[in-house]
Structure 1
Amino acid sequence: MSSAEPTTDRVTRTHVLTPAEAADVLTLARAAGDADGADPFDEHTLLRLRDPEAPAVHLTARGPDGTLTGYAHLDTTDPGAGVGVELAVRPGHRRQGTGRALARGVLATASGPLRAWAHGDHPSAAALAVDLGFARARVLWQLRRPLTAPLPEPRLPDGVALRAFVPGADDAAWLALNARAFASHPEQGRWTEVDLRVRLGEPWFDPAGFLLAEESATGRLLGFHWTKVHERPGSARIGEVYVLGVDPAAHGGGLGRALTAAGLAYLRDRRGLDRAMLYVDESNTAAVALYERLGFARWSAHVNYRLG
């Protein structure tokens, strides 16, 4: 991308996308994901694309014929933590300066620190980030394992039982547990009731696959394994360890391993899946070691770049 000629595409900025414009962006995202083997936008961005009231800035690049050739999403929810950026260029329109034009639009629009994700660690994204002065700050690994291989038995600690999440009844207790379990996590630990409610309303949500570990004597929540199934036309179904958390007070008793095994068994036995995936920070060595012991191996990397 660094050697591309200046683009003739027109870059525009808006705070609200029309339904037709949002559909155009989703089509572009699918094309980019199919070409790169990694979706260019994370779940948070995709959910916000469907919510016209979500605070965001949208940069679109269109060719002379009106074709959407590129898109950049600026998440302005928490300016103090930095503006989140995700960017994609349509396959067939790459190496023509569109990505650089969008990136310059981002720099001209945003103030304060920037946090930009390069999903799949694409070489062109890395080159552009270096050219613009961004520094590689965080790596998120995607790990995978076959569910056809043997799974460990989910051995729960004494006095702990598993049950399914009950929407409406468990919301507040789960949010409090999630905040404790991910107190130092830059995204997950800040989930609000709105964040939870949006996901509970998604077509993929399955309460039976949202496992809660509770103390039998008191009903206190100690941990959870929220599973997810990805179903995309033309692609094989795959399960995900969507969110796995354990109360810090319950660490060291094997609960995380038991919850992981129970969720994987659910995906295999109840959902009929033959493979599973998860995301984990490279720096979270304890979690990486746990997942590797459970048969997961590295599949791809997603890199966060910082500026300012």
Structure 2
Amino acid sequence: MTPTAADRAEIERLVAAVKHADGVSAWSEPVLLDLATPTGHGRHLVVRTEDGALAAWAHVEAGDPDDVVVELGVAPGARRHGIATAVARALLADPAIRPGHARVWAHGDRPGSAELAGALGLARDRDLWMMRRPAGAEPLPAPRAVEGVTIGPLRVGQDEPDVVAVNARAFAWHPEQGAMTVDDVVRREQEPWFDAEGFLLARDDGSGALLGFHWTKVHPDGARDGGPVGEVYVVGVDPDAQGRGLGGALTLAGLHHLAGRGLHEVVLYVEADNAAAVATYRRLGFEVDAVDVSFGLPEDI
């Protein structure tokens, strides 16, 4: 279906109800941005009860036919009636969702998600950790300078192509992050949380070339006390500039920026098997707080 404005509003209410019930959203930020965009490219499947109430919503991102991504959730009051199983089976019967080329995200790693995945023959293939630095953590190390490099804020309308080029090289291995486009950046610049001062770029003093960046984010809630929480949204360093300590310097610069805004509690997302990044974040006081799991559709299903 192509959601109308009324459909999107109804789905947004479902999203809020699921997050309130579970403590975690069943859908990722890119999916929710796609929902909010009238020209969004994702596919939508909704399930309604006999009285017309929205019982479930599934989003299918099939832009890359070799990596189709499904995210779905069921309204709290409609659970334990086989709706999630029925929706998942309907999606898996779609010829566009091919074994070995599709996966389903389970945000929060809830037991019911693992049970459903097992019943459908899906295999756990990725763990994405949300790590949190609590407000009471040890003080941050002092900002770190890198010789020949200046760190400053994004110039909106000028720096986006450079950011996207560095991001593509830094995350060539990453199925989601590496595909970021200039349009993706511009779309996020329209969000209420966007702050150019918190989008920090590291440039070479001689050539002016962009070497890396740290994009921070602020959520209006999510802290332990219910208040706002900062996020290490993306840290990317051009592979040709690695080995100079830029990743650590940019991470610290962003954390100090957030602290300067009064945000001493910070979260981030990192692949569980990225040992180097996890070790860096642990040294800065971050610990695993939640887990998102990707379940893949095996070739031999």
Amino acid at match of 1:72: A
SS across alignment from 1:157: coil
Return the offset for 1:252: 2.0
- 1:157-186: CA deviation from partner (whole Å, max 9, x where unpaired): 111111100111111111111111111111
Amino acid at match of 1:146: P
| Aligned partner of 1:173 among 151, 158, 162 | 162
Amino acid at match of 1:239: G
SS across alignment from 2:76: coil
SS across alignment from 1:252: coil
The 5-angstrom pairing of residues 26-175 of structure 1 reads 26-80=12-66, 82-109=67-94, 110-112=96-98, 113-149=101-137, 150-175=139-164
| Aligned partner of 1:296 among 273, 286, 289 | 286
Gaps of 5+ in 1: 1-13
Return the offset for 1:147: 4.2
Deviates more, 1:225-234 or 1:159-168: 225-234
Q: Normalising to structure 2: TM-score of the pair?
A: 0.93
- 1:24-46: CA deviation from partner (whole Å, max 9, x where unpaired): 11111111112212111101100
| Aligned partner of 2:250 among 259, 283, 296 | 259
The 5-angstrom pairing of residues 17-32 of structure 1 reads 17-32=3-18
SS across alignment from 2:77: coil
SS across alignment from 2:93: helix
Return the offset for 1:55: 2.3
Return the offset for 1:232: 4.5
Which residue in 2 is equivalent to 1:7?
Answer: none
Which residue in 2 is equivalent to 1:3?
Answer: none
Return the offset for 1:53: 2.3
Amino acid at match of 1:138: R
Return the offset for 1:146: 2.2
Contact 2:56–2:74 (CA under 8 A) maintained in structure 1:
yes
2: CA distance, partners of 1:78 / 1:51 = 19
Q: Normalising to structure 1: TM-score of the pair?
A: 0.91
Contact 1:153–1:258 (CA under 8 A) maintained in structure 2:
no
Identity percentage of aligned residues: 49
2: CA distance, partners of 1:148 / 1:216 = 36
RMSD: 1.5
Return the offset for 1:306: 0.7
The 5-angstrom pairing of residues 258-297 of structure 1 reads 258-269=249-260, 271-297=261-287
Contact 1:238–1:273 (CA under 8 A) maintained in structure 2:
yes
Amino acid at match of 1:103: A
Contact 1:156–1:254 (CA under 8 A) maintained in structure 2:
no
Contact 2:221–2:229 (CA under 8 A) maintained in structure 1:
no
Contact 2:103–2:295 (CA under 8 A) maintained in structure 1:
yes
2: CA distance, partners of 1:177 / 1:168 = 16
Q: Which portions of structure 1, spanning 4 or more consecutive aligned residues, are displaced by more than 3 angstroms?
A: 232-235
1:222 and 2:222 are equivalent in the alignment: no
Gaps of 5+ in 2: none
Deviates more, 1:289-298 or 1:226-235: 226-235
